[in-house]
Amino acid sequence: MLRPLALLILAICAAAQTPDSEKLHRLFMDWAGLTRYGSEDAELRPPKPGVDRVVFLGDEITELWGRGEPGFFPGKPYINRGIARQTTPQMLVRFRQDVIALKPRVVVILAGTNDLAGYTGPATEGMIGENVMSMTELAKVNGIRVVLASVTPVCDCFKNQTALRPQGKLIGLNGWIKDYAARSGSVYLDYYAALAEGRNFKKELTSDGLLPNEAGYGVMAPLADKAIAEALGRSEARP
């Protein structure tokens, strides 16, 4: 049975007709976004022998990758499973459906910036780290190699982005991700160093100070390819 508070939230969402209330209602009913790719996942056939499927798991930075030209890694068996505004606990809930069930050889995880922004409540580096560790452990026990990407930089070039995502916290989180990648036998993918000038997102590589533009994704793509190749080249994935 739903608790009274849950029923109240449902009633408010059902009564209101604004776009924001509709989004809130959808979030409440499907907090982890399991319906976003559920049908596509069910229809996706297992990879053919010799095909190294890769799943990119993330938030809007991943989801929007490939909306422009030339698309999302054309000709490669790479699958985009990004959902805008998601945080690491939400990704952890959908990890079995959107990653493990697709039987990839490699998963690329880009997550944490929305946790710092508090999109699903206050989150510390330790809380983010625990979710990343759980996803990594789930991947490895299922024979999936792991690439852990740094969170990308932000800047106040177009509007204030650093209030929600303090640059020092981004740097601190990246330090943890890099250290844990080494400890867990994962590959560390350093987007941050390539996209940042000092602590700021390079203005020519971002559309709003948070999201990469086409040029930004153009910088990220070969780095991702290199990290994937490194993960595939390792003799085994340590637990």
48-233 placed in CATH 1.10.260.40: no
44, exposed or middle or buried, with CB in 10 Å at 0-12, 13-18, 19+? middle
CA distance to 48, 65, 78, 80, 119, per residue, from 74 (Å): 18, 12, 8, 12, 32
The b/e string for 161-195 (b: 16+ C-beta within 10 A; e otherwise) is: bbeebebebbeebbeebbebbeebbbbbbbbbebb
Q: Which runs of consecutive H residues, i.e. helices, occur in the chain?
A: 4-15, 19-29, 38-43, 60-63, 88-93, 95-98, 113-116, 125-141, 167-184, 191-195, 214-233
pLDDT in tens, 165-213: 999 999 999 999 999 999 999 999 999 999 999 999 999 999 999 999 9
Say how far apart CA 212 and CA 208 lie, in whole Å.
8
Amino acid at 87: T
* pTM confidence score: 0.88
Structure tokens at 44: 């996706």
Averaged pLDDT, 20-31: 68
Strand partners, 148: 109, 188
Phi (first) and psi of residue 235, to 5 degrees: -65, -35
pLDDT in tens, 77-136: 999 999 999 999 999 999 999 999 999 999 999 999 999 999 999 999 999 999 999 999
Say how far apart CA 11 and CA 123 lie, in whole Å.
28
